[in-house]
Amino acid sequence: MGVVNVTPDSFSDGGLNLAAEDAISAARRMVAAGAAIVDVGGESTRPGSDGVDADEELRRVVPVLEEVSGEVPVSIDTSKAEVARRAVELGAEFVNDVTAFRADPELAGVAAEAGAYVCLTHMQGEPRTMQANPSYDDVASEVAAFLEERLAFAVSQGVSEEVVCLDPGIGFGKTVAQNFELIRRLDVLLALGRPVLVGVSRKSSLGRIFGDPEATTGTTAASVGAAVAAYERGATIVRAHDVREHVEALHAAKAVTAWP
């Protein structure tokens, strides 16, 4: 899953794809490089962010969706029903809500009606404050219990269980140690019986392991390393900014398990 942030303030690529023409070229480039789907978002959820209203989010993503629709498989990264509704009208086939239908419970119905694929993500707290003091007794089992409950909610709203994937929410209210423990113990999430998506690309934990406690991003190479580790523990969807590097690395990792 390639990441196209149509935002001025995303944590690693803010402003890069804010102009629709840049976002459109990025989406096409990612698919050419091997992305199966492109995740288009008009609101940053980086730590400390306040969010934007639906009009602004639509102003950012609609011109992109209008252009790539039918050509590039699109996921809409939003927590607002109004944005998702327009996106699926424009051909988006995947709804990626990092609040797992808590910010806007109507979003579940929009996804259900469209028959869209859904990703449910764990987050402790909310983006503005989530990194202040993340705390768990057992991070893997608490994240799994949360996702199980959100999966049941989604199904109660008419979403078919078969279209849902689950995401531990790397960086969403977690310390560096908790982020890596979640990847290490991915089997606890896989036990819920749904595919697992991991989004660790460029996240600050990947910078912090090199000794800078204030790092806000990680390198491409560190992202690829973590993505391969997640793949080897059973993740089947990887959300990444640097698509070519991830596709090549994951192909190589797959070749080790089964080639030809």
Rule CB under 6 A: which residues touch ligand HH2? 3, 5, 7, 10-12, 41, 44-46, 77, 96, 98, 119, 121, 167, 169-170, 197, 199, 239
Task: Tell me the closest approach of the beta carbon of residue 3 to ligand HH2, in angstroms.
Answer: 5
Residue whose structure tokens are 């909310």:
126
Report the residue number, 10 or 205, with the smaller CB distance to ligand HH2: 10
Q: Who contacts 27 (Cβ-Cβ below 8 Å, separation ≥6)? A: 2, 4, 38, 40, 64, 68, 72, 74
Task: Tell me the closest approach of the beta carbon of residue 213 to ligand HH2, in angstroms.
Answer: 20
Q: Which structure tokens are listed for 37? A: 């789907």
Report the residue number, 70 or 214, with the smaller CB distance to ligand HH2: 214
Of the residues 86, 203, 208, 233, only one is catalytic, namely 203
Q: Give yes or no: 80 in active site.
A: no
List, as one string, the DSSP characters of 98-149.
Answer: TTTTSS-THHHHHHHHHT-EEEEE--SS-TTTTTS----SSHHHHHHHHHHH
Task: Tell me the closest approach of the beta carbon of residue 199 to ligand HH2, in angstroms.
Answer: 2
Report the residue number, 214 or 257, with the smaller CB distance to ligand HH2: 214
Q: Rg (Cα) of the chain, in Å, rounded?
A: 17
Can you tell me whether residue 260 is helix, strand or coil?
Answer: coil
**Bridge partner list, 3:** 39
Task: Tell me the closest approach of the beta carbon of residue 8 to ligand HH2, in angstroms.
Answer: 10
Q: Are 31 and 2 in contact (CB under 8 A)?
A: yes
Report the residue number, 51 or 109, with the smaller CB distance to ligand HH2: 51
Task: Tell me the closest approach of the beta carbon of residue 76 to ligand HH2, in angstroms.
Answer: 11
How would you classify the pairing of strands 94-97 and 74-77? parallel
Q: Give yes or no: 239 in active site.
A: yes
Report the residue number, 86 or 172, with the smaller CB distance to ligand HH2: 172
Among 75, 117, 81, 78, residue whose Cα is nearest residue 98: 78
Of the residues 202, 239, 244, 254, only one is catalytic, namely 239
Residue 205 has phi, psi (to 5 degrees) of -55, -30
Q: Which residues are catalytic?
A: 203, 239
